[in-house]
Chains A and B, each alone.
Chain A
Amino acid sequence: MTSSRLRDTRIPRKPFLWLTAALLFTVPPMFGTLAMWVPLLFVSVLAAKFWMEPRDYRLRSAIWKLLLGAVVLAAVFVTYGSVEGIEPGVSIVVTLMSLKILEAHTAREFQVMVNIGWIFCLCGFFLSQDFAIALCVLIACILLLASLLEFHSGSGAASWWFPLRTAAKILLQAAPLIVALFIFFPRIDFGFRWQLAGSRMAGAGFSGELSPGGVSSLANSNDVAFRAEFPDGRIPRADTLYWRGVVLSRGYGFEWRAPTAPATLPRSSRRLPAGPPIRQSITIEPHGNKWMFALDWPFELLSGGGTVAPGNYLSSAAPIRSTRKYEIVSFGELADKDLRPRERERLLEVPASIAPAVRDLAQSWSNGGSNAVETVSHGLQYFRDQGFRYSLSPGEYQNNNIEEFLFRRRIGFCEHYAATFATLMRLAGVPARVVIGYLGGEYNEYGHFFVVRQSDAHAWCEVWLPERGWTRVDPTSVVAPDRVTLGFNAFIERRTAGASAAQSGGIVDRFTRSALLIQTRAAWQALTYAWDTRVLSYDEGAQYSLLSYLSAFAAKSFSALIITLILVCLAGGAAIAWIRMRNKAPRDRVRVVYEKFCNKLRHLGVAREAAEGPADFANRAARLLPGRSERINRIARIYIELRYAEPGDRGLFPQFRREVRAF
């Protein structure tokens, strides 16, 4: 008995290998979201454990444990400045669990380590719900299962792929249950009032104001902002793909802000515009703010928990902290062409700090006694003709200095052009505002949707023209026309192509342009989109609408419901029958025939004793039944050969059956 106890005290090697592999797959979500030292600590702890385990070293001293625990807690606090929020919380979990791994040493604690693995998977989803992360977590789950299988089968696993195969099998068997639970399990908030504070990463994407460098800082980010489908198949032209985000109507030179509390534009005040409606189904990535996006001009939100605010932009009721899907109808123009005097006044406000030269320039455009349309074209003319350049990194402008931009450096990004143009228009007496959002997007052939990335972020202007109402004016389009027609990435590519023409043709370059890579990327995009739309955006509302659809369907066609139920029952019954069949002992046909023979003898008065072997029994029976002794002995001989000899003659069993039948 000491042997089994001894075997119980060590973490077995093979399950530990599986577990290590699983834990490594829970690390990727941590990089880039947590402070760098946290995943590094975790990985080095794993490596240390791997080295320590065969040598039987471990963290034993309680003082060391407490000390290390205190040190990592302090380190987390110092790194983040607080322990609230998702990142510090996850960091604390990860570091403390790392210490636990360092300390675990018995087989019993193996299960604890696997549970730590599950918790790490969960932490991964807190940090990011990306499709790539989900794949990592899926692999981690399979490996965790494999480690459990290896552990609980002792050394009974026949090969290294046995646990992996069984894990996949169990996961497949669980799949219908997972799907059913996912669809039907009520998404209720269990009344837990306390919530983890929002992630510090939230707010990826732009903020509620426009300031120099705000949009260009996004231009380098390839993160997906949202994806859009056009369910009706009406896809607008590329140069009209202006995804409206926020309307900024309070101008402070280069800086523009949104009204603090967007009100709801009452539906009654909106008239149905002319022109074809453009229906969009948009899946937005969480950004921690209330902005929602839609093509110009959003008219009505069909689903998805938000409103159309004055200024005709969408605003969510609550900050968007998880992937959400909504449907929106837009029209190519606005029906409402009125502007009330008070509003007009507000839309002409400019900060007092604007330099006189700038005021003079604006006045020069309107002084010709011209109307608003002419003023706008004067302004655009100025940007076109005065050698303005479009650049991602225009450098900084001191003190909100529009003057320096307009008259000296003349280099800027879309935000500079939009802010300056709107300010100038106001100075010239044309009501103007700035809109930030996204421009363009990448079309995915596989999934038939647009991917709009952070790098597509854009800022443009809207001016109010008498009779025509709000009109979009994009000053960037006169400075860098290709930006509007090509999309940002393509635009940048074309611009850098000239510079790198000399060195083009490199392997990397050819690789990144290869058709295979592009197709793979598109397929990956489609998968990601499916994950986002089918899984991540399935929330309480989506569940409610699906369930009500199902119940309506069931009520409408009762027979379909019955047929479904019957099918489900049949499938379940078949599964159970299959399992029972697989686990039944195989029938021993030789034994069955021999038992028939014994029964026949019993009817003749010779019953086999419990402990009587076939040879002894045959001898006794032959003695008692001399008339049949020859046949009895022959049957016994064949039986013994069938039972105990090496399997050889195939004809023996049929002969045996014949003899017994004839007996």
Chain B
Amino acid sequence: MRPNRTRWKFTANTAAFLFVVLAMLYAGSSQQNAAAYVLLFALTSIGIVSIPHAVLNVSGLSGRASAIKPTFAGQEANLPVEISNACRSDRVGLKVRLTGMSHDFERLDRIPAGKATRATLRFPAAVRGEHEVQGISVETSYPIGVVCVEKSLPVSQRYVVYPKPAGDPNLPVTTQQSAHDRRETAISGGDEFAGVRGYIPGESQRHIDWKAVARGQSLMTKQFTAEYDSGRLYLDFRAVKSRHVEDRLSQLALWIIEAERARRPYGLRLPNVEVPPSLGDSHFHHCLRTLALFR
């Protein structure tokens, strides 16, 4: 699709409007009623004049999208967008939707001249994997709904959909468990503060040392230690008793969630990848992302 393209759409409203106009034409001509003619011409002219108004109402708009947070299949994904109006007149009565998603839209009732407005487009994330937003479109039926004008705005965002968690919530029995395996590891998900290290983009922002940022230092992540009461847990793709790949991935996703909740370090073993055991937000998302991108 060509970016920034504006096109008109005729809707049921257009048909109803045409019906009314034709009824007036019929009435005016069959009754030789000059007043009905005046009304007919007024309505026709208003309909015609409203078209440039509608086209102008989407002119000068541009869109920008922020990152989409990963989500599980079957849930909703959120695309934060910012629509800005570069023109000297306000824009009213806009509907923003994702290109290709015809049913859901977000209303933007007003974008003042030279300003921008934010909206969050929600859309269902049905299939796991990495996807790309194809662009967004802004449409308006302002001023009188005779035509609906749609403008496509080029927006590019990639996003990841994790497999839908499903299956048996009980974690598999660990094989490498031993009594003296208890030890402390510096990981980002513990209880006791252990120090700071440089922030790695993608890490959870919860552990950023904001006080240090306020002092003018660069972003640092606080490290915590935790005690593990059980041995390392490897979640193995081959160990899942299911024939379908998707079912296995779902089971693994569920286990990852359960293990994270139980605060047990877990690793992931897929036919082509292996993630060493760990715990914490970034590990959690890393594992799920690995599952999502699995082929």
Contact = CB atoms under 8 A, between A and B. Distances in A.
B104 interface: yes
Query: Which range holds the interface residue count of chain B?
Result: 35 or more
B71 to A, nearest CB: 14
A177 B60 CA distance: 27
A118 B31 contact: no
Interface stretch (A50-58, A151-159, A460-468, A637-645): A151-159
A178 B89 contact: no
Contact of B109 (A156, A323, A586): A156
Contact of A152 (B52, B104, B143): B143
A126 B49 CA distance: 26
B257 to A, nearest CB: 25
Which of A112, A153, A196 has the most B CB atoms < 10 Å from its CB? Answer: A153
B88 interface: yes
Given A119-B23, A583-B59, A141 B42 contact: yes
Interface string A530-543: 00000111111000
Task: Kindly list the 7 A-B residue pairs having the minimum CB-CB distance in the complex, ordered from nearest.
Answer: A156-B92, A585-B86, A156-B110, A154-B109, A174-B45, A156-B109, A177-B45
Nearest to B106: A4
Interface in A176-193: 177-178, 181-182, 185, 187-190, 192
Contacts of B102: none
Interface of B: 13, 16-17, 19-20, 23-27, 29-39, 41-46, 48-50, 52-53, 56, 59-60, 76, 86-93, 104-110, 114, 122-123, 140-145
Contacts of A507: none
A115 B20 contact: yes
Interface stretch (A165-173, A215-223, A326-334): A165-173
Contacts of B17: 115
Contacts of B42: 141, 171, 174, 178
Given A152-B93, A583-B87, A194 B30 contact: yes
A145 interface: yes
A111 B145 contact: yes
Which of B43, B56, B86, B90 has the most A CB atoms < 10 Å from its CB? Answer: B43
B37 A182 contact: yes
B173 to A, nearest CB: 42
Contacts of A178: 38, 41-42, 45
A1 B76 contact: yes
A148 interface: yes
Contacts of B16: 111-112, 115
A579 interface: yes
A137 interface: yes
A586 B88 contact: yes
Contacts of B24: 118, 122
A188 B27 CA distance: 12
A157 B104 contact: no
A585 B145 contact: no
B104 A153 contact: no
Contact of A535 (B13, B38, B90): B38
14 contacts: A1-B104, A1-B123, A112-B16, A141-B39, A145-B144, A152-B93, A166-B143, A177-B48, A178-B41, A536-B34, A538-B34, A540-B32, A582-B88, A582-B89
Nearest to B101: A1
Nearest to B112: A158
A322 B89 CA distance: 46
Given A115-B17, A125-B39, A535-B34, 19 more contacts: A115-B19, A118-B20, A126-B36, A129-B33, A129-B34, A134-B38, A141-B42, A149-B144, A154-B108, A166-B143, A170-B46, A170-B143, A175-B45, A177-B48, A178-B38, A192-B26, A196-B30, A537-B34, A583-B89
B99 to A, nearest CB: 16
Contacts of B105: 4
A4 B41 contact: no
Nearest to B111: A156
Interface residues of A, number: 61
Given A174-B42, A177-B48, A322 B32 contact: yes
Contacts of A540: 32
A134 B19 CA distance: 22
B89 A145 contact: no
Which of B29, B38, B43, B114 has the most A CB atoms < 10 Å from its CB? Answer: B38
A151 B93 CA distance: 9
A121 B144 CA distance: 17
| Prevailing SS type, chain A contact patch | helix
A496 interface: no
A512 interface: no
B109 A174 contact: no
A152 B88 contact: no
Interface string A585-613: 11000000000000000000000000000
A61 interface: no
Contact of B142 (A112, A153, A158, A194): A153
Contact of B23 (A122, A148, A149): A122
A188 B34 contact: no
Given A112-B16, A126-B27, A182 B38 contact: yes
A145 B122 CA distance: 33
A173 B49 contact: yes
Nearest to B85: A585
Nearest to B97: A4
Given A125-B35, A181-B45, A583 B56 contact: yes
A195 B27 CA distance: 9
Contact of A185 (B37, B49, B53, B106): B37
A267 B20 CA distance: 47
Contacts of B34: 129, 322-323, 535-539
B29 A535 contact: no
Contacts of B59: 583
Contacts of B32: 187, 189, 321-322, 539-540
A148 B145 contact: yes
A584 interface: yes
A7 interface: yes
A182 B42 CA distance: 9
Contacts of A188: 29
B114 A170 contact: no
Interface in A114-142: 115, 118-119, 121-122, 125-126, 129, 134, 137, 141
Contacts of A535: 34-35, 38
Contacts of A196: 30-31
A643 B38 CA distance: 54
Nearest to B26: A192
A153 B49 contact: no
A187 B34 CA distance: 9
A145 B42 CA distance: 11
A174 to B, nearest CB: 4
Contact of A192 (B30, B37, B106, B143): B30
B36 A125 contact: yes
